[in-house]
């Protein structure tokens, strides 16, 4: 975090100062901010957040032991360990975290050359964030989220990592309910708003696809007037955000596969080692080979290039940087195993759209003497749409000709039943209640030439099954 006096910090969060340990209101704090006491470093600021299962106030002593210089709390903590720790008392620690992020970003913006990019979409946020951050890092100091820090805690924590010399802040905005993106993006008013797609991810929380559209469009509405909206020309719902952008005073920059997009891809060729295509930006074309596996990541790369070139990065430099990226993130189309048995671990998140994209990639990369194997788990947060969407995945796996379909977990069983109903009745589709059972089966079933996709939502836990398979067949 940038250097702030205790008085400035308390003013930003609307808190009451409890001075201890010889501090004064003019004492400066500048350490990293975190809600996890295990991650606090010397001079850090600990935010005692209440959670569903625990209370951050119970860990103030641990934060002190780790070297915390100050704690933001909802009530004073009077333990012996905390006796020398200055505290700022607030009504709500999560709200205070957001208020502090807003103030810090505003101060850096006012005194420097900070540009903020916000990214949202039903799928692809983390990959696009990582690709864009990798491009921009060669131009100037860039801050972007760790993993998928895109919620009411993760997004402000990322914002608080900016310094007086930060050139670019890339923020990822996720949501499970309406209004969340508006609140988070409103903290920073992005100069560039990137919307990737509107799909069925989190549809249960939003209440359907149209509600998802309105939620994702909140990022465009939150963008800084005079800024830029980078929109997916191939997604009709994203394209429908253009009038919102224009009303907001934004310029629209289109990306996609169609000829009308300012940033587009042609001649796309998918292999087991990556995806080649010709990228065109504002009429200038060049070849690109993306090492990140999966045709669907072409759109993420286009979005990243659209934002980066709008920020002054040349197309040639963007291509060089993107071609260096081997994986988007752990557990996202991550190649494991060996050339003999290749495991593709994509089990960090799953939605109907990303599940379909991953299955299509599996079908595309299997050679004539190789076998496709899909290890599938449940997709979460679909609410009333869950049964139909799991049915569709089972149907798609059969229609794509996946040769072995291994379904894991009771919540995913409908994929198996639909695969059997569609003709995978002679052992092509199998079901296991647990990942351990599936692992034992796959150890005996997999053979040379197999290409194995492991795909599920995070909650299904199949990412660990993918890791185990990768190690076993390395």
Domain with residue 180: its CATH number is 3.40.1190.10
- Residue at 105 is within a domain: no
- The DSSP call for residue 379 is P
* Mean pLDDT of all residues belonging to the chain: 93
Model pLDDT, residue 207: 62
Count other Cβ atoms within 10 Å, centred on residue 449: 15
pLDDT digits (tens, 9 = 90+) for 214-232: 999 999 999 999 999 999 9
CATH code of the domain containing 343: 3.90.190.20
Model pLDDT, residue 160: 97
Report residue 191 as tokens.
């100069």
In whole angstroms, what is the distance from residue 447 CA to residue 72 CA? 55
CATH code of the domain containing 78: 3.40.1390.10
Does 452 lie in the same domain as 413?
yes
- Residue at 107 is within a domain: no
Does 299 lie in the same domain as 182?
yes
Does 308 lie in the same domain as 435?
no
For range 332-345, the mean pLDDT: 91
Does 373 lie in the same domain as 252?
no
For range 16-41, the mean pLDDT: 96
Does 126 lie in the same domain as 85?
no
Task: State CA 74 to chain mean position distance.
Answer: 30
- Residue at 181 is within a domain: yes
- Residue at 328 is within a domain: no
Does 206 lie in the same domain as 179?
yes
User: Which of 269, 294, 322 is the last residue in one of the domains?
Assistant: 322
Looking only at the bridges linking them, the beta strands covering 263-271 and 274-281 are antiparallel
- Residue at 102 is within a domain: no
- Residue at 104 is within a domain: no
Model pLDDT, residue 202: 55
DSSP run (H or E) holding 469: helix 462-472
Model pLDDT, residue 212: 86
Binding residues for ATP: 121-127
Answer for the pair 344, 332: CB distance below 8 angstroms, yes or no. Answer: no
pLDDT band of 176, cuts 50, 70, 90: confident
Looking only at the bridges linking them, the beta strands covering 228-232 and 251-256 are parallel
Answer for the pair 398, 405: CB distance below 8 angstroms, yes or no. Answer: yes
User: Which of 95, 121, 154 is the last residue in one of the domains?
Assistant: 95
Does 134 lie in the same domain as 223?
yes
Binding residues: 121-127
Does 82 lie in the same domain as 27?
yes
pLDDT digits (tens, 9 = 90+) for 427-461: 789 999 999 999 999 999 999 999 999 999 988 98
Does 215 lie in the same domain as 90?
no
Q: Which of 251-265, 336-350, 421-435 has the highest mean pLDDT?
A: 251-265
User: Over the range 309-334, which residues count as b (16 or more CB within 10 Å of their CB) and which as e?
Assistant: bbbebebeebbebbeebebbbebbbb
**297 is in which domain, residue-wise?**
112-322
In whole angstroms, what is the distance from residue 130 CA to residue 301 CA? 10
Does 117 lie in the same domain as 43?
no
- Residue at 103 is within a domain: no
Model pLDDT, residue 151: 87
Model pLDDT, residue 425: 59
Taking the model in full, what pTM does it have? 0.86
Answer for the pair 331, 348: CB distance below 8 angstroms, yes or no. Answer: yes
Model pLDDT, residue 201: 59
CA 420-425-431 angle, to 5 degrees, is: 60
| 465 pLDDT more than 90 | yes
Helices (H), 91-229: 93-111, 125-136, 154-159, 180-185, 203-206, 209-216, 218-222
Does 216 lie in the same domain as 72?
no
- Total domains, the chain: 3
- Residue at 415 is within a domain: yes
Q: What are the distances in angstroms from CA 273 to CA 296, 327, 339, 438?
A: 14, 11, 11, 27
For range 45-60, the mean pLDDT: 92
Cα R_g (the chain), whole angstroms: 24
pLDDT exceeding 90 applies to what percent of the chain? 81
Report residue 196 as tokens.
């990737």
Answer for the pair 166, 212: CB distance below 8 angstroms, yes or no. Answer: no
In this structure, the chain runs to a length of 474
User: Which of 259, 290, 322 is the last residue in one of the domains?
Assistant: 322
Tokens 């975290």, located at residue: 97
Helices (H), 122-267: 125-136, 154-159, 180-185, 203-206, 209-216, 218-222, 236-239, 242-247
Model pLDDT, residue 167: 97
| 200 pLDDT more than 80 | no
Model pLDDT, residue 203: 57
- The DSSP call for residue 362 is H
Does 252 lie in the same domain as 148?
yes
Which of 54-68, 174-188, 240-254, 399-413 is least confident?
A: 174-188
Count other Cβ atoms within 10 Å, centred on residue 455: 29
């Amino acid at each position: 975090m940038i250097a702030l006096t205790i008085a400035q910090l308390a003013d930003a969060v609307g808190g009451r100062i409890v001075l201890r340990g010889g501090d004064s209101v003019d004492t400066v704090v500048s350490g990293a901010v975190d809600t996890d006491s295990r991650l606090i470093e010397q001079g850090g600021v600990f935010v005692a957040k209440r959670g569903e299962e625990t209370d951050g106030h119970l860990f103030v002593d641990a934060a002190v032991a780790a070297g915390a210089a100050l704690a933001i709390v909802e009530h004073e903590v009077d333990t012996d360990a905390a006796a020398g720790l200055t505290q700022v008392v607030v009504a709500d620690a999560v709200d205070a975290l957001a208020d502090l992020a807003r103030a810090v970003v505003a101060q850096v913006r006012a005194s420097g050359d900070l540009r903020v990019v916000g990214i949202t979409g039903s799928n692809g946020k983390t990959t696009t964030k990582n690709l864009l951050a990798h491009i921009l890092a060669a131009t100037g100091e860039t801050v972007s989220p760790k993993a998928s820090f895109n919620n009411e805690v993760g997004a402000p924590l990322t914002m608080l990592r900016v310094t007086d010399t930060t050139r670019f802040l890339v923020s990822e905005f996720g949501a499970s309910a309406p209004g969340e993106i508006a609140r988070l993006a409103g903290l920073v008013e992005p100069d560039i708003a990137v919307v990737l797609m509107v799909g069925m991810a989190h549809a249960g929380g939003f209440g359907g696809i149209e509600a998802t559209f309105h939620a994702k469009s909140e990022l465009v509405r939150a963008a800084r007037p005079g800024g830029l909206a980078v929109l997916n020309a191939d997604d009709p719902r994203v394209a429908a955000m253009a009038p919102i952008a224009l009303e907001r005073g934004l310029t629209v920059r289109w990306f996609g596969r169609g000829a009308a997009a300012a940033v587009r891809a042609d001649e796309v060729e998918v292999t087991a080692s990556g995806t080649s295509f010709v990228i065109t930006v504002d009429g200038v074309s060049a070849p690109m080979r993306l090492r990140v596996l999966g045709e669907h990541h072409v759109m993420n790369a286009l979005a990243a290039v659209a934002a980066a070139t709008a920020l002054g990065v040349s197309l040639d430099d963007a291509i060089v940087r993107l071609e260096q990226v081997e994986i988007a993130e752990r557990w996202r189309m991550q190649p494991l195993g060996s050339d003999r048995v290749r495991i593709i671990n994509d089990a960090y998140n799953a939605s109907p759209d990303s599940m379909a994209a991953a299955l299509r990639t599996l079908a595309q990369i299997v050679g004539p003497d190789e076998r496709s194997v899909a290890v599938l788990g449940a997709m979460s947060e679909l609410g009333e749409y869950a049964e139909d969407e799991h049915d569709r995945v089972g149907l798609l796996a059969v229609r794509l000709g996946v040769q072995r379909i291994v379904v894991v977990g009771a919540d995913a069983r409908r994929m198996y039943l639909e695969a059997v109903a569609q003709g995978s009745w002679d052992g092509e589709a199998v079901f296991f209640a647990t990942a351990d059972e599936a692992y034992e089966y796959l150890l005996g079933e997999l053979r040379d030439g197999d290409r194995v996709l492991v795909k599920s939502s995070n909650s299904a836990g199949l990412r660990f099954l993918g890791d185990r398979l990768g190690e076993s067949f390395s």
